[in-house]
Structure 1
Amino acid sequence: MNIAILGYGTVGSGVALIIEQAHTPFTKKLHVKHILIRKGKNKILSTMCDDIHTILNDKDCDTVVETMGGIEPAHTYILQALKSGKHVVTANKAVVAKYLQEFIECAKENHVKFYFEATTGGGIPWIEGLDKAMRIDEIDHIYGIFNGTSNYILDHMERYNADFDKILKEAQSLGYAEADPSADIDGFDIRNKLRISASLAYAFHVPEDFPVYGIRTITKQDITYFKHLGYHIRLVAKTKRQGNKYGCVVEPVLFPQNEIESNTKNNYNVITLHGKTIGDLKFYGQGAGKLPTANAIVQDMIDINENTTRFETSFTNQMHYDKSLCLCDYIVRTSTKAFGAFSDCSYTLDTYQGCEYLHIKKVAVYLMHQYMREVMKTDPNAFMASIFEGENDD
């Protein structure tokens, strides 16, 4: 298989490295023929080019690997490659979340493959596992830790009784967090991964307009309080389905100490699906990083090269977002002057080390996020988390 890699950053160079080392009979069948770099950059390798048409017009190039990130020109290049009769493999969660249906339908029309395992869960074979589960079961529930950066921050704040800003800087120095960490700590990276997962599970391209709440305002005192109650906190994506109705949310979740999620450390991810016959099925591993992500890309290329059969998604279902489908208990830390936002809720008040925490009973997730938007206008440092309730968690 002759391959073109679009982008030679962290992930693209990782793909090239795995193929260059070629330890197995499968990887020895892969050959990097082109590497697309930006115009004006030095072509330090003989395979480098700066014109996408060099790749599109090469009939001997079988597969395009897109690792540039972002929406454009990635979206355009992926479509051009598919229409040129080339398979495409990508790790770009943002562009896949937005254009998943278009890419899959374009691949089918042109009798090529579009694979994207590395977009969700890094090196974890999550998409493949979801595909296999769907061959037997209707998936009615997915939840998990989809982001290594946020998990590293929360885990290390807990373990070392440290402030958010200190651990964020540590994560940035280790390369886990970007200079602008917004996508990770505000939940937008996880939103993309949840959209991809739910879209596959429901055979319906899920829009992005569901509630997202991140960890930017969490304090070490919050974490101390949650531990006092017997909880560990993680930033989690959740989706639930009942018939043709579904709900999705990204928010901090409090897990009892004995749950796997509570014991998922550092930059690791754990993702759970639920089906009628399989029950809960969990996938654990490194959710990011140069070589784990590159590994997932190379696995996709091997599947294409070996003509491995996969479940093919058709976006034929008509699904409807139900604002009342998901219900949760919440704990909110805010100032007294913001309590009025919850006047319609049933809650109790707990004071811990000078901070006031509202324990709110059974609120629709969508409504709770609306309440918090109002609270943040008055108290921009407020924080909330839902409470996990096991297999029946809403």
Structure 2
Amino acid sequence: MKIAILGHGTVGRGVDEIITNRLEEVEVARILELPDRLTDERMTSDYSQIVGDPSIDLVVECMGGLEPAHTFIMDALAAGKSVVTSNKAVVAAYFEEFARQARTSGASLLIEASVGGGIPWIASIEKARRIDEVISFYGIMNGTTNYIVDAMVKEGADFEDVLRRAQELGYAERDPSADIDGIDVKNKTIISASVAFDVACTSDFPVTGIRTLTKADLDALRKLGRGVKLLGRGVMEKGSYAVAVEPVAVPLDSLEANVPSNFNLVTFDATTVGELKFYGQGAGMLPTGNAMVQDVLDFAAGRRPSYDFSSDLAYDPTLLTSDYVFRTKADVAGALEIEGGLKVVRGATAQDARAILETALASDPTSFMAALPQED
């Protein structure tokens, strides 16, 4: 089987390396690269040479970003070529459009690597859904923010110092906004909800990152038996669903509280199989490349995933309701003062809690918020 790789950066090189060194049944026939980077005889800067080549069965998109990735994926699907992608931003933004085009042309979209790197997350959800309804999911989906929080706790370091080190190590980009403001987790939550709940999840839900987290916040919550993790969460119940991205004050003895460094831990709960957890590297050249090659091999073996988002679920923010803790100099109506200068609002939805935080940030830009779910 012949494939083409779009982009030969970190992930693209990983896919190429794994296929070239480990697989005999798959050939990387073409690689799309910029005109000044054509260092391999397989490379071209002309996408028409790929999408118009009838010998190429599968396009592996490793470019990242929205454009031209969106256009290239749509062109491939329209030409009847299936697509493997790790690009969570473009899948989250255009999942429904891609799925519709794939159904129209008889192609497939394979997205395992878009959430959780090398963790078999999407495939496991799809396998569970052959029998079960997926009731809920949650997890640490971003290794950069987990590294930052873990280092702050273990080293007693300040946020800015750890962020700078994460950038030096290559865990965080020069502009870390996508990580620390929760945008990366938002994209992965959209994809996870769409697959788990069979719904065209959009980006209109509460998203809060860890930009204002301080060592003092971690110390104060630790006295309450809690640690902070940035989680993507979703729940489905009685014809409705809700999702959110936010810091969550998890119990110190939970698995989530003890996930180290840049690792991920994601969980779903389904009707008969119950709760399943998946732990591993959520990013990186070879883990992500491995997940993409797994999709390539699945396609070669005849697997053709299809998404129609037919569940027609309504969005109900009340499905994600818990107590919330705030650290802010602003007034918070109805809040209870607790130890460490923290304020607690009882029984708020994630949507209402985000609105409270936005009001607080307007007068105190250092304000911080975390969900404080009840312990099981």
The verdict on a shared fold, with TM-score over 0.5 as the criterion, is: yes
Which amino acid in the other structure matches residue 312 of structure 2? Q
Q: Does 1:149 align with 2:144?
A: yes
Shift of residue 222 of structure 1? 0.9
Shift of residue 351 of structure 1? 4.4
Q: Does 1:37 align with 2:33?
A: yes
Q: 1:350 — aligned with what? A: 338
Following the alignment from structure 1 to structure 2, what is the Cα–Cα distance between the partners of residues 253 and 376? 18
Following the alignment from structure 1 to structure 2, what is the Cα–Cα distance between the partners of residues 284 and 242? 26
Q: 1:360 — aligned with what? A: 345
Following the alignment from structure 2 to structure 1, what is the Cα–Cα distance between the partners of residues 253 and 317? 30
Shift of residue 348 of structure 1? 2.3
Shift of residue 286 of structure 1? 0.6
Q: Secondary structure at the match of 1:389?
A: coil
Shift of residue 278 of structure 1? 1.3
Q: 1:213 — aligned with what? A: 208
Q: Secondary structure at the match of 2:342?
A: strand
Give the counterpart of 1:202 among 193, 197, 200: 197
Give the counterpart of 1:384 among 340, 347, 369: 369
1:179-190 alignment runs, 5 A limit: 179-190=174-185
Shift of residue 331 of structure 1? 1.3
Q: 1:246 — aligned with what? A: 241
Q: 1:313 — aligned with what? A: 307
Following the alignment from structure 2 to structure 1, what is the Cα–Cα distance between the partners of residues 108 and 339? 56
Q: Does 1:331 align with 2:325?
A: yes
Give the counterpart of 2:358 among 356, 363, 373: 373
CA deviations 1:268-314 (Å, max 9, x no partner) are 1111111121111111111111110000000000000111365x332
Which amino acid in the other structure matches residue 350 of structure 2? V
CA deviations 1:137-184 (Å, max 9, x no partner) are 111211111111111111111110101011111111111111111001
Which amino acid in the other structure matches residue 319 of structure 2? L
Which amino acid in the other structure matches residue 343 of structure 2? L
Q: 1:96 — aligned with what? A: 91
Q: Does 1:172 align with 2:157?
A: no
1:42-121 alignment runs, 5 A limit: 42-121=37-116
Following the alignment from structure 2 to structure 1, what is the Cα–Cα distance between the partners of residues 252 and 266? 17
Report the more deviating stretch, 87-96 or 313-322: 313-322
Q: 1:135 — aligned with what? A: 130
Following the alignment from structure 1 to structure 2, what is the Cα–Cα distance between the partners of residues 95 and 324? 29
Normalising to structure 1: TM-score of the pair? 0.93
Report the more deviating stretch, 288-297 or 359-368: 359-368
Which amino acid in the other structure matches residue 350 of structure 1? I
Following the alignment from structure 2 to structure 1, what is the Cα–Cα distance between the partners of residues 261 and 345? 30
Following the alignment from structure 2 to structure 1, what is the Cα–Cα distance between the partners of residues 12 and 374? 40
Following the alignment from structure 1 to structure 2, what is the Cα–Cα distance between the partners of residues 314 and 70? 24
Following the alignment from structure 1 to structure 2, what is the Cα–Cα distance between the partners of residues 264 and 101? 33
Q: 2:188 — aligned with what? A: 193
Q: 2:223 — aligned with what? A: 228
RMSD between aligned alpha carbons? 1.3
Q: 1:14 — aligned with what? A: 14
Following the alignment from structure 1 to structure 2, what is the Cα–Cα distance between the partners of residues 322 and 52? 43
Following the alignment from structure 2 to structure 1, what is the Cα–Cα distance between the partners of residues 375 and 200? 27
Following the alignment from structure 2 to structure 1, what is the Cα–Cα distance between the partners of residues 338 and 39? 62
Q: Does 1:28 align with 2:16?
A: no
| Matched-pair identity in % | 43
CA deviations 1:337-389 (Å, max 9, x no partner) are x12xx32x3x321343xxx2112221122111101100000000010111233
Unaligned 5+ runs, structure 2: none
Q: Secondary structure at the match of 1:65?
A: strand
Following the alignment from structure 1 to structure 2, what is the Cα–Cα distance between the partners of residues 103 and 254? 36
Q: Secondary structure at the match of 1:169?
A: helix
Which amino acid in the other structure matches residue 321 of structure 2? L
Checking the alignment, whether the CA contact within 8 Å between 2:81 and 2:107 is kept in structure 1 is yes
Following the alignment from structure 2 to structure 1, what is the Cα–Cα distance between the partners of residues 304 and 34? 35
Shift of residue 74 of structure 1? 0.7
Which amino acid in the other structure matches residue 368 of structure 2? F
Following the alignment from structure 2 to structure 1, what is the Cα–Cα distance between the partners of residues 16 and 108? 20
Following the alignment from structure 2 to structure 1, what is the Cα–Cα distance between the partners of residues 359 and 167? 31
Checking the alignment, whether the CA contact within 8 Å between 2:108 and 2:304 is kept in structure 1 is no
Q: Does 1:289 align with 2:274?
A: no
Q: Secondary structure at the match of 1:324?
A: helix
Shift of residue 325 of structure 1? 2.3
Following the alignment from structure 2 to structure 1, what is the Cα–Cα distance between the partners of residues 188 and 90? 11
Normalising to structure 2: TM-score of the pair? 0.97
Following the alignment from structure 1 to structure 2, what is the Cα–Cα distance between the partners of residues 3 and 365? 43
Shift of residue 204 of structure 1? 1.4
Following the alignment from structure 1 to structure 2, what is the Cα–Cα distance between the partners of residues 351 and 267? 30
Following the alignment from structure 2 to structure 1, what is the Cα–Cα distance between the partners of residues 375 and 67? 40
